[in-house]
Chains A and B, each alone.
Chain A
Amino acid sequence: MLKSKDVLGLRDMSKEEILEILDVAKEMKMRIENPQLRKPELKNTSVITLFYENSTRTKTSFALAGEYLGATVQDLGISTSSVKKGESLIDTGKTIDQMGADIMVMRNSYTGAPHVLARNVNAHVINAGDGANEHPTQALLDLYTIRDYKKNFEGLKVAIIGDISHSRVARSNVFGLRKLGAEVTLAGPSTMLGGLGKLGVKTTSSVKEAVTDADVVMGLRIQFERQKTVSFPGLSEYRELFGVSSEMLKYAKKDVLVMHPGPVNRGIEFTTDVIDGRNSVINIQVKNGVAVRMAILKLLMTGGK
C-alpha cells in the first residue's frame, strides 16, 4: 500500500513501498509478455501525461502501461497547449483536474514542480523527472532490473558513472539503493560529482576504482542541456578519462550488469561493444520500465491515499 497520494521521489518512499512496487511489477511483466493475461483493471481511469521536457521512453512507457491496464491515456502536448501562452503550472494542473483526470504524469525541468502540482490538484501525481532532482520510476525500474538478476540488494556494489551532478536518475537511485542496503560509488569528473557525497555515498574520479569488483555498472548521459558552464574540456578527454570500455569492465565482477537509463551517447559514456555486450541489460530495462509503471498506476488507483 502506498502511503502518499503521489509518487514524487524515492527520498520520501519507504523500503516497504519500494519492494511492494517491485513485487507488483513482477506480475505486470508477465502481462506485457503475454497479452492473454492482460486485465482491464483500470477501466474508467484516466491518465494524462504532461511532458514539459522531451522524452522517448518514459512517455511511451507510461502510455502503454496505462493501456495494458485498460486506462485511457491522453497526452497534453505541451508545445501545442496553453502552456505556450504562458499559463502557469498550477492553472494548467487545475484545468486538467477539473476534467476528471485520475492520474497526472509530469516531467518538468524545474525541481519540485511535481510537488507543487501535487499540492494543487486532487489527481494522483507521478513524477516522471523533475529538473536535476528525482526520476523515481526510472530508479524503480533500475531496482527491478537489479533485483531480477541479483536477487537481493544487501552488500551489492553499484557503480554509477558519468554526469552525476545533473542526474535525477543518479539521485533517485542513490536514495533507493541505500534504503535497500546496496553500496553505491559515484564516479565522474570532480566538477560533475556534485555534492551527493554529502548524502553518505562514496564518490571518486577514478572510474577504475568505482568499477573494480562492481556488481552493477550504471552509465549516465552527459546532460549538455543542464550545464550552465562546461564542466570538462571536451568529449575526447571525457571519453578517455571517464568512458567505460570492455577493457575497463574487466575489473568488475564477471557477471556485472551494465545498465544505462538512455538515451546513450554511443562511444562516450560506454563504448559500443559495452552497450551491446553480453553483460548489457539496457534494453531489458526498457521492458521493465513498462512493468514498473503499470505497478505504480495500479497501486495508486487501488490503494494510494
Chain B
Amino acid sequence: MKLLIKNGRIINPASNMDAKGDILVIDDKIAEIAEKIETKADKVIDAEGKWVTPGFIDLHVHLRDPGFEYKETIATGSRAAAMGGFTTICCMPNTSPVTDSEIMVEYIKMRAEREAVVNVLPIGAITKGQAGEELAEIGKMAKAGACAISEDGKSVMNAGLLKTAMNYSKMFNIPMLSHCEDKSLVGGGVMNAGVQSQLMGLKGISNDSEDVIASRDIILAENTGAKLHLCHVSTRGSVQLLREAHARGVNVTAEACPHHFTLSDEAVTSYDANTKMNPPLRSREDVEAIRNALKDNTINVIATDHAPHSIDEKNCEYDKAAFGIVGLETAIALGVTTLVEGGYLTPSQLIEKMTINPARVLGIDKGDISVGKTADIAVIDAENLYKIDASKFESKGRNTPFDGYEVKGKAVYTIVGGKVVVEEGEMA
C-alpha cells in the first residue's frame, strides 16, 4: 500500500524540518520525504496549503472505560482523538475499577486493540485504588505496557509514599504525571478565587492549592532523580517553580491545556458548568504566564485533559456539576488560534509541543515523521476560519465552553500507522 501526501508544508520539529514537500508512505512506515516525489501511489492526498505534521500525542485523556462508559468509551474517545489530529493518546487511570494493576492495563490494551482507531497507551495509578495508601503494582503495570504512572484527579498527599513511588518508578524508566492539588486548600471551591468568583458568589480555588504541591513534587523529584511531569499547569506560581527547577537542572517537564492558555476566569459568567474544570480557568495574569511559559519552553507539552461527562452532569447547579471539559476535538484549533495567531508560538513550536515533546516525556519512538518512522501523520488546515460545533463531536461528551467559538486549525487527515482514519475532516 503506497500513500503519497503531496505539496504540504511539512513540519517535523524532531528533524527541524519546516518546508514544502511530499511524503511517501509505504505500508505503515515513512518511506521517503522529498521536495517532489513522482511515483504511482494507491492513494494521493493533496495537502497544498496545509501543514503535514506528525500525528499528535496527548499525554492526558480520560477515556472513562471501564466504569463510566456512559461518558465515553475507548471507541468514541479514540474517534474524537482522530478527529483532532491525535494518533496516540494516554488514558488516565481514574476508571472504575481504578487502573492500578496488570490486568487493568491488559484490559485497556485489549479494548483498544478491538475498537480504537488511534494508539491508546494506559497510564497506571500510583497507589492501589488511588487511595493514597499503598503502592500500586507499578512494575507489573509498566511491563504490561503502562506508559506512565499518575494519581490523576488528585495528589498523593502522603509525601513519604510519593517519594517512595518516585524512587520505585525510576527502575522502569516511566514518568510520573503529577496532578498538583492540595484539597485542604481547595475547601470546596468550584472556580478560580478572584474578583470573578466574588462577583459570581462561587467558592474560589486559590492558586496556592496547586503551587504548594507543585513545589513539593519538584523537591522530591530533585532528591530522587525521578522523571516528573506536571499535569495541567494553571498558575503563574507553578510556572515560576518550573523555571527555578529548570535553572537548577531538575528533570521536570510540564503540560498546559488549551483551555488554560485560551480562557481566563472571566469566562465564568452564567453558572454554565461548561466552564467548570479542575484546575479552574485562572486569572488573566495566570493565562499570560502560561502563554509565556509555552513560548520560552518552560512548559514543553500541550495536553488536553479531555474529560467527557454526560449532559446531566453538567446541566445542573454549578456547585454540583462535574469538573472537566472535552478537549481532543478543539486542541489544535485553540493552539493555532490562541498561540500561533496570537504570536506566542511558531507553527513548528506548536507542533513540537503536541508531538515530539510528549513522545520524549514518555520515552517512546513516536512524534517524528522522519524516514523509517511509523506513519502517524496529521494534515492540518490552519487557514480556514470556522465555528466549533459541539453537536458534531465524535466524543460522547459535549461539555465544552468553546461551542460556537470562531477558530482556525482543523485536522483534515489523520493517518495512524499508514492507515487513513480521518479523511477530508470526516471519519474515514
Contacts and interface: CB of A to CB of B under 8 A. Distances in A.
A195 B197 CA distance: 9
Interface residues of A, number: 26
Given A130-B201, A133-B202, A111 B195 contact: no
A116 B188 contact: no
Interface string A187-231: 000000011101100000000000000000000000000001100
B239 to A, nearest CB: 23
A88 B198 contact: no
A11, A111, A131: which has the most chain B beta carbons within 10 Å?
A111
A195 B198 contact: yes
B315 A198 contact: no
B187 interface: yes
A84 to B, nearest CB: 16
Given A131-B201, A228-B187, A229-B187, A113 B317 contact: yes
Contacts of B198: 194-196, 198-199
A90 B317 CA distance: 9
Given A88-B316, A110-B319, A112-B271, A133 B194 contact: no
A116 to B, nearest CB: 6
Given A88-B312, A198-B194, A116 B317 contact: yes
Contacts of A195: 193-195, 197-198, 204
B317 A168 contact: no
Contact of B270 (A11, A115, A171, A229): A115
A205 B203 CA distance: 21
B315 A111 contact: no
B210 to A, nearest CB: 18
Nearest to B186: A228
Contacts of A11: 199
Given A112-B318, A199-B195, A133 B201 contact: yes
B193, B195, B203: which has the most chain A beta carbons within 10 Å?
B203
Contact of B317 (A108, A198, A199): A108
Contacts of A113: 317
Given A130-B201, A133-B202, A134-B201, A115 B271 contact: yes
A145 B320 CA distance: 36
Interface in B305-346: 312, 315-320
Contacts of A112: 200-202, 271, 317-319
Nearest to B196: A198
B271 A132 contact: no
B195 A198 contact: yes
Interface string A78-99: 0000000000111000000000
Contacts of A111: 200-203, 271, 317-319
Contacts of A132: 201, 203
Interface in B170-216: 184, 187-188, 193-195, 197-204
Contacts of A130: 201
B271 A116 contact: yes
B309 to A, nearest CB: 15
Interface in A148-201: 168, 171, 194-196, 198-199
Interface in B128-169: none
B188 A228 contact: yes
A88 B317 CA distance: 9
Nearest to B189: A228
Nearest to B204: A195
A249 B297 CA distance: 59
Contacts of A198: 194-195, 198
Given A111-B200, A111-B202, 9 more contacts: A89-B317, A90-B315, A108-B317, A111-B203, A112-B319, A194-B198, A195-B195, A195-B204, A199-B195
List the 4 closest A-B pairs by CB distance, nearest first.
A133-B201, A112-B271, A110-B317, A110-B319
7 contacts: A88-B316, A90-B315, A110-B320, A111-B200, A113-B317, A195-B193, A199-B199
